[in-house]
């Protein structure tokens, strides 16, 4: 479904990704793990067009992502839940969700998608007329994921969904990710919380210093010595 080939990317003169190759197949859940500053967020941003690669190709279902204007990438079926959620704090939950359905294709399905999101997050229905900035951290994450789902994406990019949340809430978020997956959505998730994420995904990549160091199924990754020592604390 999504294929990155030898992608270089960065900010100004600072390069964050070096020749990254990555593939996500339809229906899969794929994790990218790695330490802080490894380039995980850059990877997400380069896929959703927030930054542009200096080299390499990105294809979504065979269509060229790099050549698509940033605001058209949603139309390819990619929805990005950014790091730190980035809700519109002074808009209501309803309006935030509405922004998720901004593309003409999504507007037609607005009512249907809204029902889907409210089914998934009943809490959001209760809070729909509340300002997003006044929600709790977990609720904000739900709202951010809900907003992304409003566009009826084929691929959901999740950037550190557990960041800044209380441990109990982290559990809930990963439960949600499982449920979203079960609905048939393809998910690419970036996480520092390696133990949790490996339980949710089918395959994972290890990204260190802008380079893919290892990849494999979650079971393989959990058995890899380097990962065990560095990330799982075993």
Partner 1 sequence: MQGFLDIFDIYLLEAVVNGILLGGVLALLALGLNLIFGVIDVTWICYAELVMIGMYGMYYMVQVFGLPYWVAAPIAIMLVAALGALLHYIVIAPLLTAPPINQLLATGGVLFILQSFATVAFGIDFRNLGIRLPVLAIGDMHFSYSRLLAFIAALLGMLAVYFFMTRTYTGTAIRAISQDRQIMSLMGVDTKRIYLITSALGGALAGLAACLLVLQYDVHPFVGLSFGPITFLICVLGGLGNFVGGFIAAFVFAEIISLGGLFSDLEWGYVLAFAFFIVMMFIRPAGLLARRS
Choose which of 25, 52, 63, 107 interacts with partner 1 (CB under 8 A).
107
Our finding on whether 80 is near partner 1 (CB under 8 A) is yes
Answer yes or no whether residue 72 interacts with partner 1 by CB under 8 A.
yes
Q: Which of 100, 146, 161, 210 binds partner 1 (CB under 8 A)?
A: 100
Q: Which among 27-35, 66-74, 165-173, 196-204 is the span making contact with partner 1, rule CB under 8 A?
A: 66-74
- Kindly write out the interface string for residues 32-51 of this chain, putting x where it contacts partner 1 by CB under 8 A and - elsewhere: ----------------xxx-
66 belongs to the binding site for partner 1 (CB under 8 A):
no
Closer to partner 1 by CB, 170 or 189: give it.
Answer: 189
Minimum gap (Å) between residue 70 Cβ and partner 1: 4
Q: Quick one: tokens of 78?
A: 């990619």
Residue of the chain from 58, 79, 135, 227 that contacts partner 1 (CB under 8 A): 79
Count of residues near partner 1 by CB under 8 A: 29
User: Which residue ranges make up the site for partner 1 (CB under 8 A)?
Assistant: 48-50, 69-75, 79-80, 82, 86, 88-91, 95, 98-103, 106-107, 147, 151
């Amino acid at each position: 479904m999504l294929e990155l080939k030898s992608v270089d990317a960065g900010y100004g003169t600072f390069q964050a990704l070096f020749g990254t190759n990555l593939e996500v197949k339809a229906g899969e859940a794929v994790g990218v793990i790695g330490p802080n500053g490894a380039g995980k967020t850059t990877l997400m941003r380069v896929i959703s067009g927030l930054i542009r690669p200096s080299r390499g190709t990105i294809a979504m279902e065979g269509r060229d992502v790099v050549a698509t204007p940033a605001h058209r990438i949603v139309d390819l079926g990619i929805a990005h839940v950014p790091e730190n959620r980035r809700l519109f704090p002074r808009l209501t939950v309803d309006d935030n969700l509405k922004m998720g359905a901004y593309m003409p294709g999504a507007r037609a399905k607005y009512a249907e998608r809204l029902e889907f999101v409210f089914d998934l997050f009943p809490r959001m229905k209760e809070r729909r007329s509340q300002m997003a900035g006044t929600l709790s951290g977990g609720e904000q994450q739900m709202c951010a994921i809900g907003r992304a789902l409003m566009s009826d994406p084929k691929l959901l990019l999740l950037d550190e969904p557990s960041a800044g949340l209380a441990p109990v809430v982290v559990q809930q978020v990963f439960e949600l990710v499982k449920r979203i997956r079960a609905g048939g959505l393809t998910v690419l998730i970036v996480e520092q919380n390696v133990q949790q994420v490996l339980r949710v995904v089918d395959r994972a990549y290890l990204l260190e210093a802008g380079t893919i160091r290892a990849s494999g199924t979650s079971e393989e990754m959990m058995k890899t010595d380097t990962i065990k020592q560095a990330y799982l604390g075993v």
